[in-house]
Structure 1
């Protein structure tokens, strides 16, 4: 058998494979008249219609699916389709840029086309300046009025404070005068200066109620000194006067003058209280109840030292 010297697959040049083609159907056909070759490249598909992308209900996924199905299916690879879409996007961007440049050029030339509006613009500018000055004038008047109102409010507060202090001063004078009248201290002028007839009547009613209380012990023992109810009423009234003077201010000149009269009233109450306490002590067991009530009055007047001094005396 003759030896055939054939090259091995490894030593065969690669160029020999590039020319390998499947046999065409024409060589196997009996007649050999068909000249169509299956290996010939397919015709490039037509460009995508631009109107397809302008549909109101355009759906990219549905559109791409329809390209490869149906009677109008495209014989095109995915890479070719991507390249075509990129080219289409580039063309649209170029058109958009040209449109923007054309409109921008028109916009720049708009100022030159407008004529005859300078007077209207100047009128509007003058009107705006006038309105601005008017607003500034109104703002200035508002600021002045705000300062004026603030000053008036301050004066009003000062007047209210002065009126309130005047009322308290009148009340202090009336109460001190009434207390002096009940204690029979001070001059008649000082007593009469304090209050009117209504104040005196109210004092008389209060004191009559106090005087109508017990002036005798439970066993019928009579006491000459003031009753605990009367002294307690006078002590409470003095405490009210003292608090009113403190609210006005002890440094006030009017209060300093009133302190002398207040001191005389307090000393008179303490003197009457001391006399009544000594009388109750002399009564022995029959005066123990009155003594306890007198001690409460001493505490009301904050006169514990005076109470100790009274009880030390024999």
Structure 2
């Protein structure tokens, strides 16, 4: 080509080849669209911590908002999971570091406290004083408990003695009244003085018995002509003696006062049985008209537990 007088390609200026450059393989009639498709996706921004600090945080709603709207994240699910794992690991490390730092501060708290020995000693002395005061109060309470127990025991003893004294007085009064109704001589002795009121009471009691006897005799139809005591009067005397005997048993037969009263009680019982024997004999002699009285007299014997005495009187001719 040099021999032909033509310049070599290397000797030509570069501008002379501009019209012969072939288009690249990536060029086409829609070059703008191809350039947009090959551009890399925008890298997603890191998740901010304040998004998770909202009071009404909802995980499902938050994940839905990440991939919706004009600010949608171009990120795969695996990348999102990896980012959340990294965030969780970071938070755990921060929490552990915070705990370790506070724990170290807590351990060094005792070393940092200085100058409190005097206050601690004051508190200890005050607690010891309070302990001794409590022990003193407990000791006084125990002493008072023993004292109260002793006083209660003495009070029960006094109440028992008062009750026994009341029963002893009642026993003496009942025996005295029974002796007066039976006209036993000892009831008028020097140990028993009666005033007008007591005599009136005895008379009224005897009048009541006589009135009851009259009514009973009228009902039996055989009260007329009998001199002995009526069944109702003897039954009342027998019941009174039974009450006296029960009261003596409640006090105790070994009590000296009761042993002293037994002689008077025996005299009253024998007097009642003597009157009963006389009345029973009189009723038996009266024949058919006195049969009702005989049955009632036998009931009086049973009240006095003197069945053997009744059998003895019935066997007599």
Would the TM-score normalized by the shorter structure come out above 0.5? yes
* C-alpha separation in 1, matches of 2:141 and 2:272: 62
Residue 53 of structure 1 aligns with which residue?
Answer: 52
Kindly indicate whether the alpha-carbon contact (under 8 Å) linking 2:182 and 2:271 is maintained by their aligned counterparts in 1.
yes
2:103 is equivalent to residue 104 of structure 1: yes
Aligned to 1:252: 255
Q: State the alpha-carbon separation in 1 of the partners of residues 256 and 266 from structure 2.
A: 16
- Give 1:78 shift: 2.1
Counterpart secondary structure, 1:193? coil
**Which moved further from structure 2: 63-72 or 26-35?**
26-35
Structure 1 range deviating more: 33-42 or 141-150: 33-42
What residue is the counterpart of 2:191 in the other structure? 193
> Alpha-carbon deviations, 1:10-30, whole Å to 9, x = none?
xxxxxxxxxxxxxxxx85843
Task: Give yes or no for the alignment of 1:123 onto 2:126.
Answer: no
Q: Describe the superposition over 1:170-208 as per-residue Cα deviations: whole angstroms up to 9, x where unpaired.
A: 21122112222332446467x553575354542232012
Structure 2 length normalisation: TM-score? Answer: 0.80
Name the counterpart of 1:283: 286
2:201 — aligned with what?
202
SS at match of 2:214: coil
CA deviation after TM superposition for structure 1 residue 56, in Å? 2.5
Give ranges in structure 1 of 5+ residues lacking alignment: 1-25
Distance 1:195 1:65, change over 3 A: farther
Distance in structure 2 (CA, Å) of the matches to 1:195 and 1:160: 29
C-alpha distance 214-32 of structure 1, shift in aligned 2 (>3 A): closer
8 Å contact from structure 2 (residues 167, 247) kept in 1: yes
Task: Give matches, 1:1-314, under 5 Å.
Answer: 29-30=28-29, 36=35, 42-185=41-184, 187=186, 191-193=189-191, 196-197=194-195, 198-212=197-211, 213-214=213-214, 218=221, 221-314=224-317
Residues 268-305 of structure 1: per-residue CA shift (max 9 Å, x gap): 11111010011011111222232232223222222233
Task: Please tell me whether the aligned partners of residues 226 and 272 of structure 1 are also in contact (alpha carbons under 8 angstroms).
Answer: yes
Q: Give 1:138 shift.
A: 0.8
CA-based RMSD of the aligned residues comes to: 2.7
Bigger share in helix: 2
**Greater alpha carbon shift after TM alignment, 83-92 vs 109-118:** 109-118
Pick closer, same or farther for the CA change 1:176–1:148 going to 2, 3 Å.
same
Distance, in Å, in 1 between the alignment partners of 2:249 and 2:278 is 29
Q: Is the 8 A contact 1:177 1:193 kept in 2?
A: no
Contact map agreement 1:174 1:194 (CA 8 A) in 2: no
1:120-139 deviation digits (Å, cap 9, x = unpaired): 22212211211111111111
Partner of 1:8: none
Unaligned runs of 5+ in 2: 1-24
The number of aligned residues is: 288
SS at match of 1:75: coil
Offset at residue 83 of structure 1 (A): 1.9
Counterpart-to-counterpart distance in 2, 1:236 and 1:165: 22
